[in-house]
Chains A and B, each alone.
Chain A
Amino acid sequence: MSPKRRRTFEEIVERFVELKDTSELMMDLAYSSLLLNSKELAEDVQELEEHVDKLHTDFELLVLASGFKREEAKSFLGLIRLGVVTEKIADAAADIAEVVLRGIKPHPVLKLAIEEAEETVTYLQVTENSALVNKTLREVHIPEETGMWVLAIRRRGKYIRPKPRTKIESGDVLIASGYAEGEEDLKKLAST
């Protein structure tokens, strides 16, 4: 395969991974916004939905412009379908977030769902002096140390879905959930 063609494939996969990660992140955040009754998280989901729409269009254009051969059409159809699905997932996540943004009224059935949640969501910026900087999530054991769970990382306006090998950078905003008492511990980790 020519290096140029190889590069095209790499670019397609790169875009797809971003689409996939973003849509999965949206789903995580949407359910969390519901379980924690957090409008802030729900707003993040809405913001991401527009981003996914754009990513999806870019992805489709890239696939269509890749100059595939006739006998490859089927496997490119597979790719297009994968893209369509990420968009569907993103839409569903936005639907869930919309319910939260409209305001969930107290009702006995929902009370169990919402008010029993003693957990909160917190947004914390990692300062340059923090021990977390340049470490991967696997290395820093945030859940063990603080009881908080990192839902997402916001970096230069982008949202990143946390994975064990995600490296934390100075200036990152950690979006985390957990019991309120863990918040202080995480704040300390993020700033010293």
Chain B
Amino acid sequence: MPRLEKIEYKPISVRELFLEMKNLSELMIDLAYSAALFNDKELAEDVLELENRVDTLTYLLEMEIMIAARDAEDAEALAGVSKVASAADKISDAAADIAAIVTQNIGVHPIVSKVFERVEERLTRAKANEDSILIDKQIGELDLAARMGVDIIAICRNKDWIIDPKDTEPIKIEDILIARGAPSGVKEFKALVEGKLRKLED
């Protein structure tokens, strides 16, 4: 059971909150399916961590609404926002349910994973080792999509999540990188990040 933090109000625009919720929900669901289908506990734990983040955002959103509502007309306008907050919460709960298939050792039939792997790209998670040749390189200059058909979709750095990192984002030691791609590319990528493969092939 993770420790629950007290959530303090901070002014943040509703648009920003919506955008972050959208990005987080998408990432969580992607991670959760990969976790369940490929029985990956680490990915499942990432999902649960992201769920906490969504919880915090929904609290912040509700606070924005409460502060903004002064009369009946305001309430009418803002009820919809509250509905969105609860929908976002529902989505993140759903992702956590998928992750629970792994954490509760229910699992998905291995043949399903096998067939699934043929039709869908899988996600991988790798921690950047200090020996990795990717350290301090910008994502854009690595050209991973062209080289091995892999895209970095998120970085977890000091517990903060960067979703859809920009091309100019450098890779740092201890970064946890989440990437998507074909099985062979993903394997190569993981070896590069963990410093086990020291050469970037064209």
**Chain B residue with the shortest CB-CB distance to A97:** B87
8 Å CB interface, A72-91 against B:
72, 74-79, 81-82, 84-85, 88-89, 91
Q: Once bound together, how far apart are the Cα atoms of A47 and B15, in whole Å? A: 26
Contacts of B197 in A (CB 8 A): none
Instruction: Tell me whether B18 and A82 are in contact (CB under 8 A).
Output: no
Contact of A75 among B74, B81, B91, B109 (CB under 8 A): B109
Is residue B195 within 8 Å, beta carbon to beta carbon, of the partner chain?
Answer: no
Contact of A99 among B13, B80, B90, B121 (CB under 8 A): B80
Instruction: Tell me whether B26 and A79 are in contact (CB under 8 A).
Output: no
- Total residues of chain A contacting the partner, CB 8 A: 51
Contact of A95 among B25, B73, B87, B112 (CB under 8 A): B87
Q: Once bound together, how far apart are the Cα atoms of A77 and B112, in whole Å? A: 12
Q: Once bound together, how far apart are the Cα atoms of A79 and B107, in whole Å? A: 8
Mostly helix, strand, loop or mixed at chain A's interface? Answer: helix
Contacts of B26 in A (CB 8 A): 24, 27-28
Contacts of A31 in B (CB 8 A): 18, 21-22, 25
Is residue A92 within 8 Å, beta carbon to beta carbon, of the partner chain?
Answer: yes
Instruction: Tell me whether A20 and B33 are in contact (CB under 8 A).
Output: yes
Is residue A107 within 8 Å, beta carbon to beta carbon, of the partner chain?
Answer: yes
Contacts of B93 in A (CB 8 A): 88
Contacts of A52 in B (CB 8 A): none
How many interface residues does chain B have, given as a range? 35 or more
Mostly helix, strand, loop or mixed at chain B's interface? Answer: helix
Q: Once bound together, how far apart are the Cα atoms of A9 and B116, in whole Å? A: 10
Contacts of A107 in B (CB 8 A): 68, 74, 77-78
Q: Once bound together, how far apart are the Cα atoms of A139 and B98, in whole Å? A: 33
Contacts of B147 in A (CB 8 A): none
Q: Once bound together, how far apart are the Cα atoms of A163 and B182, in whole Å? A: 13
Shortest beta-carbon distance, A80 to chain B, in Å? 10
Instruction: Tell me whether B33 and A96 are in contact (CB under 8 A).
Output: no
Shortest beta-carbon distance, A189 to chain B, in Å? 21
**Chain A residue with the shortest CB-CB distance to B17:** A113
Contacts of A81 in B (CB 8 A): 97-98, 101, 106
Highest count of chain A CB atoms <10 Å: which of B21, B25, B68, B80: B80
Q: Residues of A at under 8 Å CB distance from B?
A: 1, 6, 9-10, 12-14, 16-17, 20, 24, 27-28, 30-31, 34-35, 72, 74-79, 81-82, 84-85, 88-89, 91-93, 95-96, 98-99, 102, 104-110, 112-114, 116-117, 163
Q: Residues of B at under 8 Å CB distance from A?
A: 13-15, 18-19, 21-22, 25-26, 29, 32-33, 36, 64-65, 68, 73-74, 76-78, 80-81, 83-84, 86-88, 90-91, 93-95, 97-98, 101, 106-112, 115-116, 119-121
Top 3 A-B pairs, shortest CB-CB distance: A107-B77, A75-B109, A31-B22
